[in-house]
Structure 1
Amino acid sequence: MFSAVARRAVAQSTQCAARRSLTTSMRSFQQVNTSPGSPVTSQPVKANATTEPVLPEVKDEVKRINEIPEEPTPKKKKFSFTGFLFKTLFFTSVVYGATLYVATKNDKVMDFVLDNNLPYSEELIDLIETGSVQQLQKSLGRLPQNIKLPSKDQIDELAHKIEKGGETLIKETKSKFGQSSKYTTPEEQLQKPVEVESVGNVIEKLPMIRLKDGLSDYADETVKGTIASFNDLIALVDASNIGSKKDGLIKNINENVHALTSKLVKLSNSLEEELQKKLKTTQTELLSAYTQKELELTQNLLDQFNHEKSNLEKKYQARVTEEVEAAKKAITQAAVNATTMVRVEQTKKFESMIKQKIDDEREGRLKNLNALNNRVEDLEKYAQALEEQAVAANNRGVIQLSITKLKSLIFATEANTPAKFLTPYIARIGDATTKSNDEVFSLALNELKPLLENESNQSILSIPQLLTAWEQLTPELRSASLLPPNAGLLGHVASVIFSKFLLPVKGNKPDGKDIESVIARVNLSLVRGQLDVAVEEVANLKGWSRQLADDWVKEARVRLEAEFLVGLIDVESKIM
């Protein structure tokens, strides 16, 4: 903007300088050469030959400056209230929406919004938090459905109303233009000639007094004479000639008025007398009719009263009869109930008397019967207790025998002993413990049956057999301990070769974690009979060594579980 102003100022200053130089040049070019005293004519005068010619560079510069278009001055933009209102509304909406959006992210802003209770804040926050583009598209899709187009009948009715309103508007416009054509402007009124209305010497007469057609036959002579006198007076007034006839006419009018007044008085008196007579006659007739009507109404009321009285008496009689019957039935039932209660009470008293008599007889004759009965009951309880003890002792013996046989088969089996299944002995123990309802027996047998279901006395390894199996497994464990991670065939061969050079460890090393220390501890535990300690040591091995010893661990655990369950059943059978 400042560069445009600077360019415009430079151009204007250059143009002004060029114009001044051009004007000076033209003045010098057109300067006349005259001598003093010579007249100056209107003919063109040659310029002085000594004047300097205008340079072509000046002319080109003037032409160029004149050809430069002047830049239009920028018009100031008018203030628009609608634009200002729209911008204010848009800015306010953006700030309000941004505030609500920040309120969903910041608790302090949310507290501010809730404290000030901003309008539509809850709805807009809910829309911001839960709204989505799909919901907005659905709302926009439902918008055309909510907009109902007018039907054909509504459009026709609206067109008819518009047409009718247009016709009415045209008529009103035409009438207004027609009325306005009647009025003239003040100039036209001044141009019109003055119209003078000529008034003739016409005197309108006063109207005469006449009776209506229906009343002329009923009027008497006095009324007609009075009317004629008034008409004569009106005629004299219209003729304006009342000089000599004034007194006679006024006297005649007074006489007619007095006669009319007296006749009116007589007429009013006679009318009052006739009215009194009519009133008396009407009063008498009304009194007689009233008395007659009163008698009729009284008779009707008496008839209605008697009729209602008879109906009420009938209803009351029927109700009393029903109540009497109900009272009779209630009294009869109460009497029957009282008689029954008396019989029941007497029966109870009779039974108590008989019972008391029997008790007295029993105490007298059968005095020792209760003592004998109590003695028999005690003997019965003692016999039942002995039977239970005998059954328990028998069951205990059967259980101990089965447990002993099972122990001998499991724990003291020689190598040349024929194989025997252990299931029949377990079933015998279950039959013996069925009636005891002992949970320990049931839980132990439930664990022992699947453990020894397909086992025999030769399938469960003894501790020496487990020791032998462990000694056979020891070289493989030594070679497995020397295997590197992800070893191949060469690694296995090397581990077998180098395991031959390992020196066995003697004694117990509780802190040693190498394979030789573990082998030594397991051997010592098996020699001492501590199978559980040996199994724990082997189970703690890792890697390929643990996989090699997995079968040995399973066999050892079968023996451990069998020993524990059989020992538990043995201990429980001893304390049952």
Structure 2
Amino acid sequence: MLNMLGVIRQAARVRPTNLFFSYIMRQQFSQTRKRIFSTEATSKATTDTSKNVTKEATIAPTEAIRKELETSKVAKEESPRKKGFGFGKFILGVTLLGGIAYGGSIYYSLKNEEFRDIFTEYVYGAEKSVEYVEDLQKQGIFDRLEKKGKEVVDKVIRTFKPTPAVEPGIKESAKDVILNKDQKIVNKKAESFENPILFKLTNTLNELINILSNYDVKDKDDLIKRAQEELKQLEVHIDLLKIENQAKIQSTIDEQIEKYNQRYDSKEYELKQQLEEEKRRLYEQHYEQLKSELARESTKHNEELKNALFRQATEMQRRWIRDVKVMVEQERGGRLARLDNINHKLKILERISVDNAERLDSSLKAHRLWCALRSLQDAVEQPHRTPFANQITAMKYLTSTDEIVTTVLSTIDDNIANNGVDSVSDLSARFAIVREKVRRASLVPEDGGVFAHLLSAMFSRILFRKHGLVKGNDVESILSRVQYYLNENDLDTATRELNQLKGWPKKLAEDWIKAAKNHLEIKQAIEVIETQATLSSLSVV
């Protein structure tokens, strides 16, 4: 009963000004109530009493219909016209149209790859929506929803299937037979409705026809015809709305396709312009390259001609000298040959002297470089900070032609050279102080305040001090490993271990890490310079 009243109310919202649907709502409710009362009376009374009740029930709906029609007409005349189109309905319509267009676009993008590229490129969030729908489609959710929807529709159809309302003891008349024929017609039409609201209205109409067939109501044929006509008009109106929505969606799609075509044409024109510009640039570049190649070949050819002329002149000069030598040898008895031999030997001696001088210079430079390098090593290995700017200056002067040594020396900061670096012993002694500070701040979080520092200083005294090469990433384990590597004179590994600290402990150890890095950088530079000096000494030998 409640489901039937809900269907009637929903149908009334579609066409609220219609007189017939107002009559349907009121008459259905009163008829159902009277049907319940008449059923109870029939079970208690005799056969004669049931006939009287049937006659009274037949007269009562007729008077109710007349009163309802008169009341509806008066209410229709007195009620003011409602405003036509409200802003809320407009927003709702636009929202529904946009949702239908968006959903249709997603469905069409699954079928057409070209439309999918356009849709995902120009519509915000379309790519994620299409991917989500594809995932749902792969999982088979749509098939399950379609199956479940069919089951729900079948269940609703079975729930609202019209049942004959003819009470026992009442014979059908000729008009009832006519109404049953009309009922069959309406039932056949109801099977073709796709809209669930029309389907429910059709079922309600069928049930009203069954109710009217049990009573002698005037103008029931006219009412049925009017109901069927208005139902057809409602179906036509809904079909027109569907066609209008489809036309709007199609126009929107056409506009998007037109915009995409315009963008495609503009992009094609732009790419053609870029292609022409690239062709022109390549042509000019090729022309310049060809021109430079021709100039290079011309220069090369001229050089070859000059060399050929020079060789020819040299050959002629040699031939002339040879001829002169032959003539002089013939005249002087071979004296000129002996002079040439002496001249050749003098040139050999001159070459040997020059080579020895160059080797002596190279050996002297290598010796000076080694001296400066040893002085730099001594300054770095002093127990206290010792400036070594003079050694760096001397090495730069001695190795001005050596690119490797010059590059290594340029990486050394002037402030470090002027102030010196801490030795390993200084760093070890300094680490003992840094270690205590780091232990006191080992329990302080990164955003801790003064109270956190006080708590960390108090609880750090309770912590056990670790020694040796222990495992773990906690502060105490790292400090223990650093102390172990410092005892082993492995400053590089100790610095790497201490650099693993985080938060306040690392901030407290930053100065020590920086000093250790400076020492390691200078030591590495000395090793590179020493290797280069060794290679230079070997080349001299």
Asked whether the two chains share a fold, i.e. TM above 0.5, the reply is no
The structure in which a higher percent of residues are helix is: 2
TM-score under structure 1 length normalisation: 0.38
Larger Rg computed on CA atoms: 1
TM-score under structure 2 length normalisation: 0.40
Higher relative contact order (CA 8 A, sep 6+): 2
